[in-house]
């Protein structure tokens, strides 16, 4: 049996302890400085306060001050912090990782350089660590449609584990596979990670239709806006593929679990969809951010800000064409410029002929 150490005690990181412990592995769950109350609750009652579930036997909770003890002798190390904490994770890993370690990331997002060049977040962690250490570590990631609570209660979940090293990621996948957690593997490291990050962008737009109906008092009408939603989802899938290819991944990855599969589940609900619903009701995004959802973490909206600004720079450099990514560019105008809801339908799918 393996020993796994996880940095971050959020709901997804904790949900992943269930298949691991169901398989007989032990997990040391280390909270960040923001997880102190969660760790204390698990230590005292066994209950994760946000999941509202008891963790399995085999999970030991540690406060951040005891991270070194928790990581000692781990067969697998996991980064379970969201995209806003990627640089913090890298700083922690400098003191916790050693040559030969195996790392699995659930952190999703894209980082933009000053010139607009986009990079997946695991590569940002590696850069911060420095090549001397990073090159001696095996890297992998979990991608695909996975709602944490559903996984934690044993609902069937299908995901893709990815790494450039097939032997390594096959070994990791075997640690996790159960009769409810179904794991496929891929060596399209870039494609899977880009898809996992970019799908959050389009989840914001998935809320528009519900907001429009609410503004018209038609939430319970027989005829809703599935046609509208389908059009946005389809354009999002087109741009998802383009993003993967732009960063050097395999475009076919967009059609699978970590592409449209993940975009589907993310579009079904959550904080980014809720923010989009407000915009559909006619609320300016700045008001959504500062009033209606003040203090709420919106990873998809943050991705729109990073990627939308990068698209402008990449266009100026001639890396992409002005007509590329019309949906993402429009979402950026909503988020960064308070543009009203007026979708550029004629620019979608290569432009109306």
pLDDT in tens, 48-60: 999 999 999 999 9
Q: Do the beta carbons of residue 254 and residue 143 sit within 8 Å?
A: no
**pLDDT over 80 at 353, yes or no:** no
Q: Specify whether the backbone of 218 is left (phi greater than 0), alpha (psi in -120 to 50) or beta.
A: alpha
User: Quick one: average pLDDT of 290-317?
Assistant: 93
Residue appearing with tokens 């904080």: 271
Residue 81 is predicted with a pLDDT of 85
User: Quick one: average pLDDT of 95-119?
Assistant: 93
**β 102-105/76-79 pair status:** parallel
**Distances 58 to 18, 157, 248 between C-alpha atoms, Å:** 9, 22, 40
pLDDT in tens, 124-171: 899 999 989 999 999 999 999 999 999 999 999 999 999 999 999 999
Residue 296 is predicted with a pLDDT of 87
- The domain ranges of the chain are 3-190, 201-350
Q: What sign results for the dihedral spanned by CA atoms 101, 21, 200, 90? A: negative
Confidence of residue 108 (pLDDT cuts 50, 70, 90): confident
H/E stretch holding 110: strand 110-112
**pLDDT over 90 at 109, yes or no:** no
pLDDT in tens, 4-56: 999 999 999 999 999 999 999 999 999 999 999 999 999 999 999 999 999 99
pLDDT in tens, 163-213: 999 999 999 999 999 999 999 999 999 999 999 999 989 999 999 999 999
Active site residue 199: yes
Annotated active-site residue in 108, 199, 210, 274:
199
CB count, 10 Å around CB of 30?
29
Pick the CATH number of 3-190 from 3.80.10.10, 3.40.50.720, 3.40.1390.20, 3.50.30.50: 3.40.50.720
CATH number listed for the domain at residues 201-350: 1.10.1040.10
Q: What sign results for the dihedral spanned by CA atoms 246, 247, 248, 249? A: negative
* Residue of 148, 150, 155 whose CA lies nearest to 178: 155
Residue 146 structure tokens = 């996975």
- Angle at which helix 86-96 crosses helix 121-129, to 10 degrees, equals 40
């Amino acid at each position: 049996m393996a020993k796994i150490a996880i940095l971050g005690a959020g709901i997804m990181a904790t949900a992943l302890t269930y298949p691991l412990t169901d398989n007989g592995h032990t997990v040391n769950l280390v909270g960040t400085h923001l997880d102190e109350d969660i760790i204390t609750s698990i230590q005292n009652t066994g209950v994760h306060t946000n999941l509202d579930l008891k963790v399995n036997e085999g999970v030991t909770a540690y406060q951040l001050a005891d991270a070194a003890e928790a990581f000692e002798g781990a067969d697998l190390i996991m980064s379970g912090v969201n995209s806003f904490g990627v640089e913090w994770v890298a700083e922690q890993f400098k003191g916790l990782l050693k040559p030969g370690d195996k790392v699995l990331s659930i952190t999703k997002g894209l980082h933009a350089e000053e010139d607009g060049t986009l990079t997946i977040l695991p590569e940002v962690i590696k850069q911060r660590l420095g090549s001397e250490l990073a090159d001696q570590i095996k890297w992998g990631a979990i991608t695909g449609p996975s709602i944490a609570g559903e996984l934690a209660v044993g609902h069937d979940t299908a995901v893709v584990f990815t790494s450039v090293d097939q032997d390594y990621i096959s070994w990791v996948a075997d640690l996790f596979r159960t009769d409810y957690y179904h794991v496929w593997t891929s060596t399209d490291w870039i494609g899977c990670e880009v898809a996992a990050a970019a799908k959050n962008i389009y989840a914001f737009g998935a809320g528009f239709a519900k907001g429009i109906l609410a503004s018209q008092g038609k939430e319970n009408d027989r005829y809703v806006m599935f046609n509208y939603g389908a059009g946005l989802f389809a354009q999002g899938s087109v741009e998802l593929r383009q993003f993967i290819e732009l960063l050097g991944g395999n475009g076919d990855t967009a059609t699978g679990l970590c592409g449209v599969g993940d975009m589907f589940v993310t579009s079904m609900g959550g904080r980014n969809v809720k923010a989009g619903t407000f915009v559909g009701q006619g609320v300016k995004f700045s008001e959504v951010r500062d009033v209606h959802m003040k203090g709420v973490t919106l990873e998809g909206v943050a991705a729109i800000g990073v990627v939308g600004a990068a698209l402008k720079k990449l266009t100026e450099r001639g890396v992409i064409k002005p007509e590329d990514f019309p949906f993402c560019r429009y979402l950026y105008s909503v988020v960064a410029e308070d543009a009203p809801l007026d979708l550029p339908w004629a620019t979608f799918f290569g432009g109306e002929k």
